[in-house]
Structure 1
Amino acid sequence: MSDLPVPVPLPSAAAPAGAPAWLSHDALRWAEPRLPRWAEPRWPALALLVTVIAAIVLEPEPSCTVAVPCGPDWLGMIQMGLAVVQLLWYFRLPELTLVSGPVLAVIVAVEEFPQAGTADAANAAVIAALAFGWAASWQRLALRRRQRRLAEQAAAGARHPLPEGIGPLRRGVVPIVAGLVLCAVAGVAVGLGLRGVHEDEQRAAKAESVSAVVTGHGEDTLRVRASDGSKRTVDAAYPDDYDTDSVVTLLSDGDWNRLAAEPYDAFGWQLLVLAAGLSGLTLLAVGALARRRAAALRRAPVPVLRILQRVDHNADTWIYAADDTAGRTPLLRCLAYPVIDDRAGENDPPDADADAEAEAEAEAEAEAENENEEEDEDEDWPDVDTRLREAVLYGPPCDAGELVIVTANWDGDPVVLLTAGPVRLPKGGQGPELEWPVEDAVE
């Protein structure tokens, strides 16, 4: 006889009829295809980071002249912002990189290559790194599609709608709302930046052109002597580019003066656009993908599989094959929470007797806790039942997917769990924390 503990059984009424067990031979076949090492997101992220830094270092500093004045570079802002956020999307949102990668490659080709220079090789390397990242993201998404297909094969055609009382669809609402707010902030920043540019152009159109001699430099200003002998101080983005005693052209309109080679630069607004816009776009994508995946489970009957499940001391839920009663090979890891029926008791009339009884019970529990406080001061770890439990998985499992799990609670009653985040595959050697203290426990 085996000394292994028997998994907590799931009430037979909680399991849909005909749900097959996800046995180890099918589960290992599902887990066997692994992402190739070259397609791991760290490598395309590293390649893009190195090539972008090289392109920035090799690119010559812009020279502001009256013929080619400096000014707000909105396309360059988009280019740099996409390059930065691409590093995050490789890890969290490979779906977006299939679109953003080609867009960024086109921007680099159109914006950088017409300017022949020493950075051409680095810019070509940036495009090559983006192509490499696109292939890696495609490989990750192809692996997810294969996992879903293998899970559907293991379900052998068994499909059922989600259990009753699943509640309204809430996944993705918070990031979508936050993303919309941030995108609105970015839109306002774009408007204010463009308004500043427009006002500067209007002022420059009616200003008088004045020659001046540079007499000194400040941190971000120039001291000049105009042709009429007046001394003025004007803002300069690149003051060191102007030698002392060199001649510059000013645009002057009353007490308003600026260098003709340096129009208004909406750099501050551009930074706000990047910070708010890219964060908002990321949150929108995260929320939309989570909502779409969760909604897909509700639209039609989904594959169901009998599995084993446990919760560890880090509140992570781990999924095992139905015959892995030793819990040796975790297949999936996710954060899941029980469904709460918000409608329960929502329209019930108040019951004075019930309120009084509940209050008395609460007082009794508080007294009991005070009596046992000294006895429990050495046992202050949370009480978590980490036993394996029989469960039913709704939906084809895959990396970054959404699932519904029906399992048994402490009392053996069925409980429905919803994933609160994307499902992840455990990395090599990774497993549940089954004993206290865990690594981040407070001593």
Structure 2
Amino acid sequence: MSTHSAEVLRLPDGAIPGGCRSWEAEQTGRWTRGLPPRWVPVRARTSVFVALQPVAVAGAGLLHRFGGLPAWAAALIALHLVWLVLRPEAALVLVPFAAAAALTTGDLAWPVRLGLSAALVGVWTVVGVRLTARRRQRAAGLEAAGGVTAEVPLASGAMGARMERGTFLLWSGLVTVVGGGVLYVTADLWDLAEDRQVVPAAGWCLAGLGLTVLYSAALARRRAAGLRRAPVPVLRVLVRENHEVETEVFAADDVAALRPLFTVSTTEVEGHTAGDTDVDEGAAEADEDVRELISRIDDERAGPLREAVLYGAPYDGAEVVLLAAADKAGEPPVVEVSVGPVRPVTAVAFRRRARAERGRALREARQERLRGAAAAVVVAERTGLEAAPVEVRRWRAGWADWFAVGLVLLFLAYYWEGSSGWSTYALALGALLLAASLLPRRLAWQVTADREGLWFNGLGGARHLAWDHVRAVECEGVRLRIQSRQASFEEWRVASPRWPRLETRFGLLHPYERTAAEITAMWRDPAARPAGLADERQRGRALWPIGIVIVVAIGVMGAAMTLFLP
């Protein structure tokens, strides 16, 4: 199948190594079939990645306090939650030691000991399956390359300056190890007895996380350096940058970008593109590129599909280099080096992505219908077909915003009930200051539209945004956002909880969707805009008095709870 398409930005013929094969559907099918089963965690969501660390630290503390395990043993066992997903190489080596610690240390009952040991054996099995699948993926990639190898571009030039791969991980790991050590050493200084029982294991676990990051840094640097020691396998592929600023890699004949094979975070090697460019012109182009990138992220759009040469055998956790066509026609190719490991797109992740795209398409279609209906209404109001022309339109905070604030206050009240100590009071003071700055807008935000633009109330007063300076009006997820083209007014946003499935099932319309539809209709069609100008009262008053009332009210309630509740 020919891969030439007008929609794909192509590499110059001279940039492609001689004999380089196209990695097409037949070969990529063998590669994807080599992925581990669906029950093996290969591609963790960002939320899982963030949650694993505190869960492991908390688990270590609980095993130490209630299970009587030594602090080091509790941390060693809990860290396998992280290694199972993020660092299977460490789990493969350390599971036997963790199982021995679970069986021989602490005051755990034998059923619990056996349960922990069985869970660790399960972890060992899972990571073994995953690492075996890696070897299959690497073999499939080498077979597809057919023995064709090439030197990584710029191996002795700008590429050599990229030897700092893993430097950020190195410093992050060192800081985390030191933090864990400090936490362990200062365990006896904590106020409460239960804290002193939990903190040593938490310190060990934090230090273990730091050592894990250091190991990841060393492994990434070794794999990246391996690409420059000798010629490596090369394959022709297609790539594009998704809205999460990751590079997606596709088969060379997948010109419709239907099935990504894997994603990898990359950065462009500076100084590779040819030609001299004026400094001011280069700075202007860089600013324009940044604005385009931000716009694409906000709109959840992918970048253009580009032809590329992949250097290095692709597999789960690998480091690679890409020589890719520039994202603008007529510009020289660019070299992109990985700053993160290859992450295969599993069948589960692919189906999840497809569902998300279908949901996004349905939301966009629904919002377009809303905008059309809103445009008809506001045009009728503006032209006086139904009633007198509307001079000014306003949208205010409603039940959704008040409900969100109520949830936050309930959570804070539950958290601080019965708490004491200087740390609690310091947190309470910080929460009061945060509440004074954020809650007034959540409770009493107002957007006013007149014939010249939009007015937004705030703590110090109202701000104005002309219609010509509006860049986008969006209701995406829990957010209502209005973006500006002005450097001094980047965007205005509010957020509230939503339940999209319930809204769809019962035909409910969230207030934010109606507001976004009506403002968009006015922005796009000058005939739909109000006829008059908003006076000072209509623009919205300053919200700082509400902030003072909130601080006083929360302070009084907190004092009452401290004095009168047991």
Which residue of 2 is the match for residue 399 of structure 1?
Answer: 316
Q: Which residue of 2 aligns with 1:32?
A: 33
| Aligned equivalents of 1:25, 1:37: Cα separation in 2 | 22
Q: 1:77 to 1:338 in 2, by over 3 A?
A: same
Q: For 1:262-285, what per-residue CA distance to the aligned partner results, in whole angstroms no more than 9, with x for missing partners? A: xxx975762563254123112112
Q: 1:319 aligns with which of 232, 246, 249?
A: 249
Would you tell me which structure has more helix in proportion to its own residues?
2
Q: Which segments of 5 or more consecutive residues in structure 2 lack a partner in the other structure?
A: 45-50, 365-473, 483-566
Q: How much does 1:7 deviate?
A: 1.5
Looking at structure 2, the residues matched to 425 and 379 of structure 1 have their Cα atoms a distance apart, in angstroms, of 23
Contact 1:309 1:318 in 2 (8 A): yes
Match of residue 81, structure 1, among 75, 85, 101 = 75
Aligned partner (choices 147, 152, 167) of residue 160 of structure 2: 167
Check 1:404–1:362 CA distance in 2 against 1; reply closer, same or farther (3 A cut).
closer
Query: Matched residue of 1:7: which SS?
Result: coil
Tell me what 1:102 maps to. Answer: 96
Matched, 1:425 2:339: no
* CA shift in 2, pair 1:32/1:18, >3 Å: same
Kindly indicate whether the alpha-carbon contact (under 8 Å) linking 2:296 and 2:302 is maintained by their aligned counterparts in 1.
Answer: no
* Residue in 1 that maps onto 2:545: none
Question: Superposition pairs for residues 302-341 of structure 1, below 5 Å?
Answer: 302-341=232-271
* In structure 1, C-alpha distance between the alignment counterparts of 2:297 and 2:165, rounded to whole Å: 33
Evaluate the alpha carbon distance shift between residue 125 and residue 269 of structure 1 in structure 2; reply closer, same or farther with a 3 A threshold.
closer
Q: Structure 1 residues 271 and 415, CA, compared in 2 at 3 Å: closer, same or farther?
A: same
Distance across 1 between alignment mates of 2:119 and 2:201 = 25
In structure 1, give the amino acid aligned to 2:350. Answer: G
SS in 2 for 1:428: helix
- Given that residues 149 and 234 in structure 2 are in contact (C-alpha distance below 8 angstroms), is that contact kept between their aligned partners in structure 1? yes
Alpha-carbon displacement from aligned partner over 1:28-80 (angstroms, at most 9, x marks no partner): 111112322443479xx99xx9xx98xx79x9979xxxxxxxxxx8x611122
- Does the Cα contact within 8 Å between 1:98 and 1:138 map onto a contact in 2? yes
CA 1:396–1:406: 2 relative to 1, 3 Å: same
Shift of 1:155: 0.4
Is 1:388 matched up with 2:305?
Answer: yes
Tell me: CA distance 1:108–1:381, structure 2 relative to 1, closer, same or farther (3 Å): closer
Tell me the TM-score normalised to structure 1 length. Answer: 0.63
> Which residue matches 2:522?
none
* Cα distance in structure 1, aligned partners of 2:226 and 2:207: 28
1:90 correspondence with 2:84: yes
Cα distance in 2 for residues equivalent to 1:387 and 1:157: 30
For 1:389 and 1:305, the matched residues in 2 are separated by 14
Please tell me the residue identity of whatever aligns with 1:23: E
| Contact 1:310 1:389 survives alignment (8 Å) | yes
Shift of 1:189: 5.8
- From 129, 132, 150, the equivalent of 1:139 is 129
Counterparts of residues 121-140 of structure 1 (less than 5 Å): 121-140=111-130
Deviation at 1:16, TM superposition (A): 1.1
CA distance in 2, matches of 1:425, 1:76: 38
* Residue 300 (structure 1) shift: 1.4
Please identify runs of 4+ aligned residues in structure 1 that moved more than 3 A. Answer: 1-6, 37-42, 59-62, 184-193, 265-269, 378-385, 431-443
The one-letter code of the counterpart of 1:273 is G
Task: Please give the TM-score of this superposition, normalised by the length of structure 2.
Answer: 0.51
Task: Verify the 8 A CA contact 1:167 1:339 in the aligned structure 2.
Answer: no
- State the match for 1:153 in structure 2: 143
Q: Could you say what the CA RMSD is over the residues aligned between the two structures, in angstroms?
A: 4.4
Q: When the two structures are aligned, how many residues end up with a matched partner?
A: 333
* 1:100 to partner: Cα distance: 2.4
CA distance 1:280–1:2, change in 2 (3 Å): closer
Shift of 1:412: 3.8
User: How many Å separate the matches in 1 of 2:117 and 2:282?
Assistant: 65
Residues 12-411 of structure 1 aligned to structure 2 (within 5 Å):
12-40=13-41, 76-112=70-106, 119-164=109-154, 165-168=158-161, 169-187=163-181, 267=197, 270=200, 273-274=203-204, 276-341=206-271, 358=279, 386-409=303-326, 410=328, 411=330
Larger Rg over CA atoms: 1
Q: Which residue of 2 aligns with 1:249?
A: none
Over 3 Å counting, the alpha-carbon distance change for 1:10 and 1:162 in structure 2 is: same
Change (3 A) 1:392 1:362: closer
Shift of 1:177: 1.9
* C-alpha spacing 1:100/1:339, structure 2 compared with 1 (3 Å): same
Secondary structure of 1:333 counterpart = strand
CA contact (8 A) 2:243 2:296 kept: no
Alignment partners' CA distance in 2, 1:133 and 1:315 = 32
Cα contact 1:307–1:390 (8 A) shared by 2: yes
Structure 1 unmatched runs, 5+:
63-72, 198-218, 221-236, 239-264, 346-353
Report SS of the residue matched to 2:77.
Answer: helix
Give the C-alpha shift of residue 24 in structure 1: 0.9
Structure with bigger RCO (C-alpha 8 Å, 6+ apart): 1
Q: What is the one-letter code of the residue matched to 2:164?
A: R
- Provide the secondary structure at the position in 2 that maps to 1:329: coil
